[in-house]
Homo-oligomer: A and B are copies of this chain.
Amino acid sequence: MSDKRNMMNYCPEIKVVDATLRDGGLVNNFMFTDEFVSDLYKANVAAGVDYMEFGYRASKTMFNPADFGKWKFTNEEDLRAIVGTNETPMKIAIMADAGRCDYKTDILPKKDSVVDMIRVACYIHQIPLAIDMIEDAKAKGYEVTCNLMAVSKVAGDDLAKGMDMIAKSSVDCLYLVDSFGNFYPEQIANLAQKYVTAMNGKQAGFHGHNNQQLAFANTIEACRWGVNYLDVTVNGMGRGAGNCFSEQLLSFLKNPKYSTMPILQFIEKHMLKLKAEGVVWGYDIPYLLTGVMNSHPSSAIKFTKDKRTDYVQFFHELVENE
């Protein structure tokens, strides 16, 4: 497969997926104000964003709603309070996390929901469960993606086997997810081709993390090789080092329907305030180190929260726990 996309033109099949509330919710425990969520929805519509992921639909038997903001659960009524019946071109997505949701009961038939797309997140060993979730959501009438996480930890030919199983399901799109911000663009190019080939005419997506300041570079590299569903978050807000910035990708894409301006406006009004209130995300040295080491960012998140700056000691700790 050669990369044939012409940088002077655009591909209408590319879809920008805003995941600010969902991945950003991991930073602030989903404690967004209604005004924030409503303004983000309007900004995304104005910016031409194709899908907006509002949050998880987590199990209320496993997680206590008193402990989280509402977008951990993304109840139908909370969603409708923001979007009404969503009379816009932008579609609405929620994430269902394998093993952490009651999908059979909590995901309503599409006819009773304003949600358009269910994103099923799973690890490699959960693929049979994920496929059951995919078939459930598909039968209920949704578009469905599978977000296969932490593939930088998947050894041998497990990934090829897993991709093959997912491709044979009713899923519409399989996401390449760089959970630990470990991959370099050269590796993303290689993986993207494998995902696009495995999906055989169905879609592939990319969700990056910015541990090495490569989330944007990896997103546009994946895009070069035919990956069409591209995740972003406003100002890169997401767990640890965060994600590809909406404002970066929208500046790059040349489809006239996209505009960076509404996102800049939203940042002026909301994101600067969030940062001033002490909500912390984005590239920093501890995330670089967990990215390079292919480690879960939790230790770097703790390091940052503890306001430590002894990077060398942290690196030693990482090496010891490898």
A residues whose Cβ falls under 8 Å from a Cβ of B: 7, 184-187, 210, 212-218, 220-221, 224, 245, 247-248, 251-252, 260-261, 264-265, 267-268, 272, 283, 285, 288-289, 292, 309-312, 315
Contact = CB atoms under 8 A, between A and B. Distances in A.
Contacts of A285: 247, 264, 267
Contacts of A221: 185
Contacts of A184: 7, 220, 252
Given A185-B185, A186-B224, A224-B186, A248 B312 contact: no
Nearest to A262: B312
Contacts of A267: 285, 311
A312 B185 contact: no
Given A251-B288, A312-B264, A315-B261, A185 B272 contact: no
A212 B248 contact: yes
A185 B220 contact: yes
Contacts of A224: 186
Nearest to A260: B315
Closest 4 CB pairs of A and B: A217-B217, A264-B311, A251-B292, A213-B213
B216 A216 contact: no
26 contacts: A7-B184, A7-B187, A184-B252, A185-B185, A185-B217, A185-B221, A186-B220, A186-B224, A210-B213, A212-B216, A212-B248, A213-B213, A213-B216, A213-B283, A214-B216, A214-B217, A217-B217, A217-B218, A247-B285, A251-B288, A265-B311, A267-B285, A268-B310, A268-B311, A268-B312, A272-B309
A76 B154 CA distance: 54
Given A216-B217, A245-B288, A247-B288, 5 more contacts: A213-B245, A214-B216, A217-B218, A251-B288, A251-B292
Given A248-B212, A288-B247, A309 B268 contact: yes
Contacts of A252: 184, 292
A312 B7 CA distance: 25
A215 B264 CA distance: 22
A312 B216 contact: no
Nearest to A190: B7
Nearest to A221: B185
A288 B217 contact: no
Contacts of A289: 251
A312 B247 contact: no
A88 B222 CA distance: 42
A243 to B, nearest CB: 12
Contacts of A260: 315
Nearest to A235: B285
